[in-house]
Structure 1
């Protein structure tokens, strides 16, 4: 693993550097937005101009990327879950290919989102053999390399892997990849975060009392999770409310389109609480005494805010059966919080173990035990130490700009 210092291009190209980013999912869009900010900041320091186009979502667009297509809305996990989105995903893939042909970039950045990113990477390799491809946040094959050949697919398309987890960096380097460990980008986002003051101000902003008992529920960022994850989490919330009637539930939106189904579900389950606007998601977590969340990048955000949490995930039964018995899928942990040091910092319940009773019991134990909550916070702090140092997005941007500049400086 190596860290590369910024090497300023002596003669920046007359035209702007063209950067194309391809990702999907709410988390990829979040990381892409943070990266776009850093690319613009670093290019300004170098006196270079950049044109950033992307397949992603609204966070990247808000950061200044020109969105070619919205991939977040078609994101899913699992074979059967992907079927309803297959045609839309194919159309988006073709749109991305056409854009690359029309306006060839100086560098392509792939963020997570394995299947569609491998497809785009293969296209770029065929169509533009000299075009550098950076894989930023490579798929978690270092945790669950299940399907033979998956790792080779990543290495075949990536000229450089910018790794955010230490285990990710070691895995891809050991397999022969060109790897830089930049650290985890969420460190930048929470560099100045102070849990106690943040909790007080978040409660004030949301109209909550400082002594209220608040539990934040994060059931869905993908459509399928409204079907498979939400009922488990909301039933667990019912059981918590039966034991602690004074509890208030906050349900922040990952996507605005989920407002109606979440508001309907809150009423149907008889939960005392409200849906919180997407813009206030971080406040809804900061304000909480406990979060119950589906597995994903949000777990790391919750941990960096030092809010105790319970994690779960559930797929369609058929998908889960295929994963377990056909693909022999197994992983010691699924939550990113536990993956950093491969230790059980947060309780996690997956598939058959993810029952409302299991979630509510652990949640009630945490709510009633200051010692357990403190032990989890200590685990969060150990994890944070292993995520690197602040300045992650700028380090990643420097590497990308170096590659783009060297490509742009070559004769056509």
Structure 2
């Protein structure tokens, strides 16, 4: 039995790869689009997820023709192969049209939305497409699960999958290592690295040791560019797993994304930054209902991690903000506040067992 799977970015590759590893052990043949984690899990990646890595609304418009042709090729291939199940992960601006196209090509098998679009936060009209196209949604957050059920989508949830693999690490306020996580996509890194590098210089002047993470999803050209820019500053660049880097750090400067949730679960304070095109940000501010950008802040309903967006993503401001956070950690009362928020956030994410649930429900659907 074969299962078609697809993801388009680093976090989706990690979630789908974890599921794919378990499905492979059950004897399913997996093929489709993915990244390094999916390949390690045994997925035959006929398309690389790098083809989807465009950043923001305006960047996606420039790649629209290419993405439509890619969608049509994949849909035809799925319809011809008629797999036992289809699992589409995150990247909704590509995967929702792909799901509709697959259905139009005649595929009638079960279809799963793993990490469905954030319809609870913006463009809620997409919930109708989830209800019509997918047999099951597997969301990451409890409020997503409730929203989907309230809108008559089939949804299953026990907790966030990061709870299965990330434990809180002891925080040593005397540690001087600070993790810098500029993003998992080339466009993100190119926008964030110059101000992040300036902030790192400021931290070095205060006696801290900045270490920059190179995400596994980044190409060698981006990694070389990072080294060329950071090398003359005497700043370390690391290809180690991001969670491991967070665990050996006292805090982090992060691009907005899954990494902020990982930082919360590891138990590391920090600052979240994000810069995109002005039009992309204007559209986001018009359409997004949440007042927060960082996932822990959305989860908690308040700002735990300071957020710097667009023009505020400057090296001097980033440096001052992260220094302020690190000073909080050095104060026992400030440290207790962060640790209390970390515990609250972990509780709000549900309980461990998401991967067990995903494995069971997808295996059952693919075996019908």
TM-score using structure 1 length = 0.81
CA distance in 1, matches of 2:33, 2:114: 15
Mapped contact 2:138–2:358 kept (Cα < 8 A): yes
CA distance in 1, matches of 2:55, 2:133: 22
- Find out whether 1:290 has 2:251 as its counterpart: yes
Alignment of 1:31-110 (within 5 A): 31-41=15-25, 43=26, 49-83=27-61, 85-86=63-64, 88-110=66-88
Q: Name which of 29, 35, 43 aligns with 2:13.
A: 29
Q: Name which of 151, 163, 181 aligns with 2:157.
A: 181
Alignment of 1:376-395 (within 5 A): 376-395=338-357
Alignment of 1:157-172 (within 5 A): 157-172=133-148
Mapped contact 1:29–1:72 kept (Cα < 8 A): no
Mapped contact 1:112–1:136 kept (Cα < 8 A): yes
**385-394 or 356-365, larger mean C-alpha shift:** 356-365
Structure 2 unaligned segments of length 5 or more: list them: none
Q: In the alignment, which residue of structure 2 is the partner of 1:8?
A: none
- Find out whether 1:156 has 2:132 as its counterpart: yes
Mapped contact 1:71–1:92 kept (Cα < 8 A): no
Q: Give the SS at the match of 1:130.
A: coil
CA distance in 1, matches of 2:298, 2:3: 31
Mapped contact 2:79–2:102 kept (Cα < 8 A): no
Mapped contact 2:265–2:346 kept (Cα < 8 A): yes
Mapped contact 1:182–1:396 kept (Cα < 8 A): no
Mapped contact 1:124–1:131 kept (Cα < 8 A): no
Alpha-carbon RMSD across the aligned residues, in angstroms, is: 2.3
Q: In the alignment, which residue of structure 1 is the partner of 2:358?
A: 396
- Find out whether 1:234 has 2:197 as its counterpart: yes
CA distance in 2, matches of 1:227, 1:259: 11
Structure 1 unaligned segments of length 5 or more: list them: 1-16, 44-48, 201-209, 407-412
Q: In the alignment, which residue of structure 2 is the partner of 1:46?
A: none
TM-score using structure 2 length = 0.90
- Find out whether 1:195 has 2:169 as its counterpart: yes
- Find out whether 1:131 has 2:109 as its counterpart: yes
Paired positions, count = 362
Q: In the alignment, which residue of structure 1 is the partner of 2:122?
A: 144
CA distance in 1, matches of 2:349, 2:288: 26
Q: In the alignment, which residue of structure 2 is the partner of 1:12?
A: none
CA distance in 1, matches of 2:309, 2:292: 9
- Find out whether 1:263 has 2:227 as its counterpart: yes
Deviations 1:63-85 (A, max 9, x none): 11111211235312312222554
Q: Give the SS at the match of 1:221.
A: coil
Q: Give the SS at the match of 2:87.
A: strand
Shift of 1:294: 0.4
Shift of 1:121: 0.6
Mapped contact 1:217–1:249 kept (Cα < 8 A): yes
Q: In the alignment, which residue of structure 2 is the partner of 1:11?
A: none
Mapped contact 2:179–2:253 kept (Cα < 8 A): yes
Q: In the alignment, which residue of structure 2 is the partner of 1:217?
A: 180
Shift of 1:211: 5.7
- Find out whether 1:315 has 2:276 as its counterpart: yes
